[in-house]
């Protein structure tokens, strides 16, 4: 736990950027400590772990789901989740919509793009995403709200590489906004930037940085 780092990060963020404190694998005491400092947005990547934390911790925490989400796990988080950053198929979005309807909610979701070189990362490419947006089934979903995009850069020391990947994500955002969400004020988020690359992400237009180890320590 590093409160000094937390405060330094908060102070350095432009007002247009919100901090998602990534608390995955960390105990409730650490989350409560940061909550006591005033932090309200936390990010987790495992549905059941998140459900347990939700039940134990203050109810005004805004929980963001940032990991790969399996359809059969949506039920653990659907009643309360504030945002799902990792939608990468129409099928998943339809399942989220179904559960959101059941709980009489509209769940804000981000479209995750694969922008890194690594094979293992999840996410749409541009063509797949456009195919979804041209499917009438997508526009029929009333209990999810598409709030923007998310992406993870390659794990590398090459700053130019990272920067160009974030520029690609920003470009996807701009094209989606202009082409499909021009009158939708809720389509506004660009979730990019982690402990090692959030400063570059902010320079390239991030609105949500997801920072874990700089605040909570190594996992």
Ligand X SMILES: *Cc1c(COP(=O)(O)O)cnc(C)c1O
Give the CA distances from residue 141 to residues 3, 21, 91, 152, 185, in Å, rounded to whole numbers and listed in that order: 41, 29, 11, 26, 18
Does position 22 bind ligand X by CB under 6 A?
yes
- How would you classify residue 9: left for phi > 0, otherwise alpha for psi between -120 and 50, otherwise beta? alpha
Q: Which stretch binds ligand X (CB under 6 A): 73-81, 141-149, 166-174, 189-197?
A: 189-197
Instruction: Pick one of 45, 97, 206, 207: the residue that binds ligand X (CB under 6 A).
Output: 45
Instruction: Pick one of 143, 156, 161, 213: the residue that binds ligand X (CB under 6 A).
Output: 213
CB 73 within 8 A of CB 47: yes
Number of residues counted as binding ligand X (CB under 6 A): 14
What does the angle CA 107 – CA 98 – CA 181 come to, to the nearest 5 degrees? 45
Give the CA distances from residue 37 to residues 3, 7, 10, 32, 41, in Å, rounded to whole numbers and listed in that order: 8, 9, 11, 9, 12
Task: Supply the minimum distance, in Å, between the C-beta of residue 8 and ligand X.
Answer: 14
Does position 211 bind ligand X by CB under 6 A?
yes
Does position 9 bind ligand X by CB under 6 A?
no
Does position 195 bind ligand X by CB under 6 A?
yes
Task: Supply the minimum distance, in Å, between the C-beta of residue 217 and ligand X.
Answer: 9
Closest CA to 110 of 71, 148, 164: 148
Task: Please give the residues from 69 up to 128 whose contact with ligand X meets the rule CB under 6 A.
Answer: none
| Contact footprint for ligand X (CB under 6 A) | 22, 24, 45, 66-67, 152, 194-196, 210-214
């Amino acid at each position: 736990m590093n409160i000094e780092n937390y405060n330094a990060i908060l102070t350095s963020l432009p007002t247009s950027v919100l901090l998602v404190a990534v608390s995955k694998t960390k105990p409730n005491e650490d989350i409560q400590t940061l909550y006591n400092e005033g932090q309200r947005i936390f990010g987790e990547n495992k549905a059941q772990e998140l459900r347990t934390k939700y039940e134990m911790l203050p109810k005004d925490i805004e929980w963001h789901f940032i990991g790969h989400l399996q359809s059969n796990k949506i039920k653990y988080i659907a009643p309360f989740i504030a945002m799902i950053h990792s939608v990468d198929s129409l099928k998943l979005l339809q399942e989220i919509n179904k559960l959101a309807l059941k709980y009489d909610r509209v769940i804000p979701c981000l479209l995750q793009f694969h922008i890194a070189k690594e094979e293992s990362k999840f996410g749409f490419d541009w063509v797949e995403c456009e195919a979804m947006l041209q499917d009438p089934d997508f526009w029929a979903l009333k209990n999810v709200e598409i709030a923007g995009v998310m992406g993870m850069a390659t794990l590398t020391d090459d700053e130019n590489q990272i920067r160009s990947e974030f520029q690609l994500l920003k470009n996807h955002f701009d094209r989606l906004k202009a082409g499909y969400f021009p009158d939708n004020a809720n389509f506004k988020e660009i979730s990019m930037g982690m402990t090692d690359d959030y400063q570059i992400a902010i320079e390239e237009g991030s609105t949500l940085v997801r920072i874990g180890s700089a605040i909570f320590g190594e996992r």
